């Protein structure tokens, strides 16, 4: 007599060819999402062709921004700044600046240079040098990069990360790190402020060093 479990196994094997997988809407959506470019990849693709040209076109001299903010922060921020959320969110600024590097911290991976832009010998702007770039100023200063264009906060964060990576790779990676203090510098970039008392931390998309003093 053939054991019952062997009969059941045989019937199961015979039934396998008749099975088929049903392509559900969820599986189809997953395949479509996997085939589509990621948010970070899409952001990288527009960085050189759209992001940097926009910043170069819209940036105002930092001296003008600072003067306007000192006189009336709310009015100056509305004139020179941008924010997607109109109430409670910080303002983001695009600026061109020049000055003299007072000091530099290049030991940290989040390297920075403190710059005197008004000639008083005191640093008033900090330039990020990377490779670790903090913040989301580049993303948040762009009116054509809005949260509603992305599926969730994770994708939106990937956009900011991609812009920061590109800023480092294209503008900061090849920058000399030795003996920066005393050298003149010109930069184009973005920064974010919520109040006049906030420190100015600029993420450069273009930077040029000059000779020392």
**Domains of the chain with bracketed CATH:** 38-212 (2.40.50.420)
What per-residue confidence (pLDDT) applies to 193?
98
**41-73: b (≥16 Cβ within 10 Å) or e:** ebbbebbeeebbebbeebbeebeebbebbeeeb
Q: Give 138-196 pLDDT, tens digit per residue.
A: 999 999 999 999 999 999 999 999 999 999 999 999 999 999 999 999 999 999 999 99
- What does pLDDT average to over the chain? 88
pLDDT for 192: 98
**Do the bridges between strand 183-193 and strand 201-212 make them parallel or antiparallel, or are there none, so unpaired?**
antiparallel
3-state SS, residue 127: strand
pTM summary value: 0.82
3-state class (DSSP) for residue 113: strand
pLDDT the model gives residue 7? 43
| CA–CA separation, 61 and 137 (whole Å) | 17
pLDDT digits (tens, 9 = 90+) for 77-115: 999 999 999 888 999 999 999 999 999 999 999 999 999
What is the model's pLDDT at position 211? 81
131: cis peptide before it, omega within 30°? yes
Phi, psi dihedral angles at 107 (to 5 degrees):
-80, -35
pLDDT digits (tens, 9 = 90+) for 7-43: 444 444 444 455 455 567 666 545 554 545 699 999 9
């Amino acid at each position: 007599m053939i054991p019952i479990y062997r009969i059941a196994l045989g019937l199961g094997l015979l039934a396998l060819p008749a099975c088929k997988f049903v392509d559900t809407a969820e599986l189809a959506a997953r395949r479509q999402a996997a085939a589509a470019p990621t948010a970070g990849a899409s952001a990288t693709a527009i960085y050189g062709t759209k992001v940097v040209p926009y910043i170069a076109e819209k940036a105002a001299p930092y001296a003008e921004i600072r003067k306007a903010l000192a006189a009336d922060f709310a009015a100056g921020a509305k004139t020179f700044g941008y924010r997607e959320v109109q109430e409670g969110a910080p303002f983001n600024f695009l600026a061109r600046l020049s000055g003299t590097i007072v000091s530099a911290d290049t030991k940290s991976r989040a390297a920075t240079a403190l710059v005197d832009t008004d000639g008083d010998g005191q640093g008033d702007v900090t330039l990020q040098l990377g490779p670790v770039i903090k913040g989301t100023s580049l993303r948040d200063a762009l009116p054509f990069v809005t949260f509603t264009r992305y599926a969730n906060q994770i994708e939106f964060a990937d956009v900011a990360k991609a812009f920061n990576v590109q800023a480092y790779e294209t503008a900061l990676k090849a920058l000399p790190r030795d003996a920066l203090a005393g050298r003149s510098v010109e930069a184009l970039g973005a920064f974010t402020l919520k109040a006049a008392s906030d420190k100015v931390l600029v993420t450069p998309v273009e930077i040029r060093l000059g000779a020392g003093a």
